[in-house]
Structure 1
Amino acid sequence: MKVFLLLSALLVRAAIALPGPAITKRSNTSLPVAFACEALSLAFKAETFYPGSVNYTSENEHFWTPTDYSAPACVFTPKTQFQISAALLIFETFQANFAVRGGGHMPIPGYANIDGGILVGLTDLNQITLSSDKSYVSVGPGRRWEEVYDFLEPYGLVALGGRVGIVGVPGLLLGGGISFYSNQYGFASDNVIAFEVVLASGLVVEATSTSYADLFWALKGGGNSFGIVTRFDLLTYTSPTICAGIGEYPSTEKTAFLSAVANFGQYGDADAKAAVIPSIFMLASLNTTVYTSALFYDGTECNQPALVNFTSLPAIANSYGPTTLATYVSGTDALIADGTRQVFQVISSIADASALEIVHDTFVEMVTANIYGVAGLQASVAFQPVTKNFIQQGINKGGNPQGVDITKAPYFWMVENFSWTDPADDALINAFAVNVTSVLEAKLTAAGQQAQFKYMNDAGYGQEIFQNYGAGNLAKLQAIRTKYDPQGIFTYLMPGGWKVATA
């Protein structure tokens, strides 16, 4: 009864806009969290779970990698945006720390889960509907991209999203999101036309280019500092059949492979329907390095000049051919080392052949010398070409917080990925990932090849993100954060992720 009275009082306070208590940065305290869990359990018994229950375990382990498994005091799985509103008022009242998890693909411990706090799992906010004119699809944050593509396939439509099926919808979009279609249409977030958001006050609003326009802009790459998004309205595009697949090439093809990557980086604008994800892939257990590339073309004719430098390489294996986006991404799950421990680091460079040589040679040498003996080690660098047209599309759609400098494009946005099996190796791998990145950046800077922007969705713990956005955009994001979350609920009570206020 006390909890329901408390909730009533909180809702009244929110309605008359009385200020709440100031929130300061603080460590997690068990008593406030215990009170908040109890309040959630009494108000929303069917949605609140404690350690030892099946639902608690499944939500806590709803992650791509066990590096994210934590020990939340309780788990809350809201079914409506209004349950989230009530939960936020509880968290503020008790000053209880919490985390929010969408698809569960973020590999940084503590960024989408929490020890001793409350995990808000968005699993049940899983609506997906197509507008009557089929121009946009509305997707809940509990969805993963393979589910979105499966839903749209019977209509011959796609939406811009992840290039791997198990990636979650909300994390990718709030970080910007690179898509196979980005060369044509920009970031995935540039193609969101509305965000339904629960603000820190508990108010549910719809942010568009004309309503809450500042919030709309901030959410197109500004991360999780502004609210909890409960619906994304995404533009759809006709693309019933594509050409896609993965080519794998032997280590003897290093020169030709890097030449193909450099050529695509320089001339990727020549055909905006083409996309590639070339990678160096080191398999320690087999003592081998191979080269791979995802190959993509938005069309039915697969023999394309834009991809010929890759398709003409002698291949160990090559699955490139006619398919659909849904079919292609369903096959990627088996290629992603699900269940292994993971860490990312991101680097950016000018799209130049010399940058590729620096990164390739330094990465291979350092991995071989320092961590090659780690059990189950797989180490890779993926080179993601970013064209002028990619960046221009975002500008055409009203701009975004990333504010990438188009005058210096094209770029390579590179992600280093390390996977391994033994938790005893966590400290070694994490330290190495930071060190090799530092060395690579120093060499790229010395060669005049370093680029400023760092893509959030591929970044590692401690890497600066918002500091590398376009001029003035960090200050603008901070002002918007203060406007919509003056008490700092999504900064201090929800500490996971990159925060604009503390950048």
Structure 2
Amino acid sequence: MKLPILASLSLATVSAALPSLDVERSAATINSTVLACDALKLVFKSQVFFPGSTNYTAENEHFWTPTDYLSPACVFTPKSALDVSAAILTLVGLKAPFAVRGGGHMPIPGYANTIGGVLIALTDLNTIQLSADKSYVSVGPGRRWEEVYAYLEPYGLVVLGGRVGIVGVPGLLLGGGISFYSNQHGFASDNVIAYEVVLATGIIVVATATQYSDLFWALKGGGNSFGIVTRFDLLSYSSPTVCAGITEIPSTEKDLFLSAVANFGQYGSADSKAAVIPSIFMLGSLNETIYTSALFYDGTNCNQPALANFTAIPALENTYGPTTLATYVEGTDALIADGTRQVFRVISSFANAEALSIVHDTFVEEVTANILNVAGIQASVAFQPVTKNFIQQGINKGGNPQGVDITKAPYFWMVENFSWTDPADDAKIAAFAASVTDTIQAKLVAAGQAAQYHYMNDAGLGQEIFQNYGGTNLAKLKAIRAKYDPLKVYTNLMPGGWKVDAA
């Protein structure tokens, strides 16, 4: 494979080229990152941006939340896998730190951005192409799910992906990915049939169930320790019209709401086409708690017994009805305020009324007592019912690194989400989020209701992920990482995210 000229540049060659860039720096200020930025600029010119430029600002603020706006030394926007390969060879040769950003929805500072390193922004890797037989679609990591669904809608097709439109394609898939269709088809990553990957050597490979099969397995939920994925081939399914929408329920209907959530958690496998995301929302500005439920059914008849317990609850507002997946997820963008600061934490339990009550009561009491007066605060817990059907589909498709124990299903995989407006409150909210999660976890453990698996895409800083993957999967992931990246390029030079070797 022939790479661009940059792939063969030595450190001495790059250093000698610097004067031609009209850059005047003393020897003391030239470090690996400066050399890397200038070397990339030498070859890629219009694809490298420095602080102060409009494009730099746009890429650095491409993230969902300002908690991720950092200060990379430069931003590089590759247009092909070959561009990524050349950049990796340069960064490795110069030992320059870097970060990779897809859709920018992970709110942990430094997990998809960098202070002083090179930010590889995948914005322009935006392939989206349906195969000739319409069985799969190839998607670049610069895409967000609302774009993918909109592209497929005229064909009456869908893929398994995010339930919020602005979520990026690569992060969701590398963390596994929960979809409205997961009860039918498993994790979103269980429905990837090929990954185009740039390895730490700069070599570009395509991993499938039959070639680089160990890497293929690892990428189904093993995160970013193995390479940079530059294309995902996703199985498509026919689903031209669905039933979807959100019900908003007053706090006076707490008992009916919790009963409906517990019932679906226990019996959600009865109809694999149904999905729900019930949530507790606490709004500081209104001093109010409300309940919401995102309801989904893969079909044209919206009057479904599987969702009847939710639709029967008296609602303040109810948008559930016939629609398309693309239309529904586009509407979710309006539910998320621009510019708010964000923290996630993840909790897992068995799906029953006792666990639900512990989480609900503890969360509401702790938020009310400690942070409800914080400016702009919104605190929520979303309950994601995970059925035996969900887990079995992953097993049927060759298994995945998550190794969720099907014998103990069903589960609730929960995400706590805190949003606020003032940076001065960052430390307070982060500390509270960790504290309330620890309190809930301790109560679940004491009641025998805590589950093992923690979903990476909803986790917060410091939470353990790979330690909770089933069986011997962590050891297997570490061996695969060592095979494909023996120098730990994607562990040490790219420190952002959860790393299998740190588990």
Amino acid at match of 1:287: N
Once the two structures are TM-superposed, the CA of residue 336 in structure 1 deviates from its matched residue by: 1.5
Map 1:301-380; keep pairs closer than 5 Å.
301-380=301-380
Look up the match of 1:244.
Answer: 244
Residues 6 and 43 of structure 2 are in contact (CA less than 8 Å); yes or no, is this contact kept in structure 1? no
Once the two structures are TM-superposed, the CA of residue 6 in structure 1 deviates from its matched residue by: 6.5
Residues 191 and 234 of structure 1 are in contact (CA less than 8 Å); yes or no, is this contact kept in structure 2? yes
Partners of 1:461 and 1:30 in 2: CA distance: 32
Residue 5 and residue 328 in structure 1: after superposition, are their counterparts in 2 closer, same or farther (change >3 A)? closer
Partners of 1:222 and 1:72 in 2: CA distance: 26
The reply to whether residue 406 of structure 1 matches residue 406 of structure 2 is yes
Look up the match of 2:15.
Answer: none
Partner SS for 1:233 = strand
Structure 1 stretches of 4+ moved >2 Å: 4-7
The reply to whether residue 214 of structure 1 matches residue 214 of structure 2 is yes
Partners of 1:252 and 1:373 in 2: CA distance: 22
Gapped runs of 5+ residues in structure 1? Answer: 12-28
Look up the match of 2:79.
Answer: 79
The reply to whether residue 44 of structure 1 matches residue 34 of structure 2 is no
Partners of 2:296 and 2:63 in 1: CA distance: 27
Deviations 1:81-118 (A, max 9, x none): 11111110111111100000001101000000001001
Partners of 1:327 and 1:10 in 2: CA distance: 50
Partners of 1:195 and 1:488 in 2: CA distance: 20
Look up the match of 1:497.
Answer: 497
Look up the match of 1:155.
Answer: 155
Look up the match of 2:24.
Answer: none
Residues 5 and 43 of structure 2 are in contact (CA less than 8 Å); yes or no, is this contact kept in structure 1? no
Amino acid at match of 1:447: A
Residues 284 and 378 of structure 1 are in contact (CA less than 8 Å); yes or no, is this contact kept in structure 2? yes
Partners of 2:6 and 2:75 in 1: CA distance: 21
Partner SS for 1:231 = strand
Partners of 2:344 and 2:8 in 1: CA distance: 44
Partners of 2:132 and 2:336 in 1: CA distance: 36
Once the two structures are TM-superposed, the CA of residue 9 in structure 1 deviates from its matched residue by: 5.1
Residues 30 and 116 of structure 1 are in contact (CA less than 8 Å); yes or no, is this contact kept in structure 2? no
Residues 347 and 414 of structure 1 are in contact (CA less than 8 Å); yes or no, is this contact kept in structure 2? yes
Partner SS for 1:262 = helix
Deviations 1:277-314 (A, max 9, x none): 00000001001000000000000000000000000000
The reply to whether residue 297 of structure 1 matches residue 297 of structure 2 is yes
Once the two structures are TM-superposed, the CA of residue 169 in structure 1 deviates from its matched residue by: 0.2
Partner SS for 2:448 = coil
Deviations 1:41-98 (A, max 9, x none): 1011111000011110000000110000000000000001111111101111111000
Partners of 1:251 and 1:143 in 2: CA distance: 37
The reply to whether residue 171 of structure 1 matches residue 157 of structure 2 is no
Residues 187 and 390 of structure 1 are in contact (CA less than 8 Å); yes or no, is this contact kept in structure 2? yes
Amino acid at match of 1:130: L
The reply to whether residue 287 of structure 1 matches residue 287 of structure 2 is yes
Partner SS for 2:106 = coil
Look up the match of 1:20.
Answer: none
Residues 33 and 118 of structure 1 are in contact (CA less than 8 Å); yes or no, is this contact kept in structure 2? yes
Residues 337 and 419 of structure 1 are in contact (CA less than 8 Å); yes or no, is this contact kept in structure 2? no
Look up the match of 1:235.
Answer: 235
Partners of 1:336 and 1:398 in 2: CA distance: 36
Partners of 1:219 and 1:293 in 2: CA distance: 31
Partners of 2:299 and 2:211 in 1: CA distance: 36
Partners of 1:315 and 1:7 in 2: CA distance: 60
Once the two structures are TM-superposed, the CA of residue 5 in structure 1 deviates from its matched residue by: 7.4
Map 1:417-496; keep pairs closer than 5 Å.
417-496=417-496
Residues 10 and 89 of structure 1 are in contact (CA less than 8 Å); yes or no, is this contact kept in structure 2? no
Residues 136 and 233 of structure 1 are in contact (CA less than 8 Å); yes or no, is this contact kept in structure 2? yes
Partners of 1:270 and 1:6 in 2: CA distance: 56
Relative to the length of structure 1, the TM-score reads 0.95
Partners of 1:335 and 1:113 in 2: CA distance: 25
Look up the match of 1:23.
Answer: none
Once the two structures are TM-superposed, the CA of residue 337 in structure 1 deviates from its matched residue by: 2.4
Residue 93 and residue 409 in structure 1: after superposition, are their counterparts in 2 closer, same or farther (change >3 A)? same
Look up the match of 2:271.
Answer: 271
Gapped runs of 5+ residues in structure 2? Answer: 12-28
Partners of 2:6 and 2:398 in 1: CA distance: 42
Look up the match of 1:381.
Answer: 381
Look up the match of 2:138.
Answer: 138
Look up the match of 1:18.
Answer: none
Partners of 2:151 and 2:431 in 1: CA distance: 41
Amino acid at match of 1:113: N
Residues 176 and 187 of structure 2 are in contact (CA less than 8 Å); yes or no, is this contact kept in structure 1? yes
Look up the match of 2:193.
Answer: 193
Partner SS for 1:171 = helix
Once the two structures are TM-superposed, the CA of residue 262 in structure 1 deviates from its matched residue by: 0.2
Partner SS for 1:44 = helix
Deviations 1:392-414 (A, max 9, x none): 00000000000000000000000
Partners of 1:226 and 1:434 in 2: CA distance: 29
Amino acid at match of 1:196: E
Tell me the matched-pair count. Answer: 483
Residues 280 and 381 of structure 1 are in contact (CA less than 8 Å); yes or no, is this contact kept in structure 2? yes
Deviations 1:443-497 (A, max 9, x none): 0000000000000000000000000001100000000000000000000000000
**Identity %, equivalent residues:** 78
Deviations 1:195-214 (A, max 9, x none): 00000000000000000000
Residues 184 and 273 of structure 1 are in contact (CA less than 8 Å); yes or no, is this contact kept in structure 2? yes
Look up the match of 2:25.
Answer: none
Residues 280 and 380 of structure 1 are in contact (CA less than 8 Å); yes or no, is this contact kept in structure 2? yes
Partners of 2:123 and 2:370 in 1: CA distance: 40
Partner SS for 2:481 = helix
Partners of 1:130 and 1:432 in 2: CA distance: 45
Partners of 1:378 and 1:391 in 2: CA distance: 32
The reply to whether residue 257 of structure 1 matches residue 230 of structure 2 is no
Partners of 1:67 and 1:30 in 2: CA distance: 29
Deviations 1:351-408 (A, max 9, x none): 0101111000000000011111100000000000000000000000000000000000
Partners of 2:309 and 2:5 in 1: CA distance: 68
Relative to the length of structure 2, the TM-score reads 0.95
Look up the match of 1:117.
Answer: 117
Map 1:69-108; keep pairs closer than 5 Å.
69-108=69-108
Once the two structures are TM-superposed, the CA of residue 240 in structure 1 deviates from its matched residue by: 0.1
Once the two structures are TM-superposed, the CA of residue 501 in structure 1 deviates from its matched residue by: 1.0
For the aligned residue pairs, the C-alpha RMSD in angstroms reads: 1.2
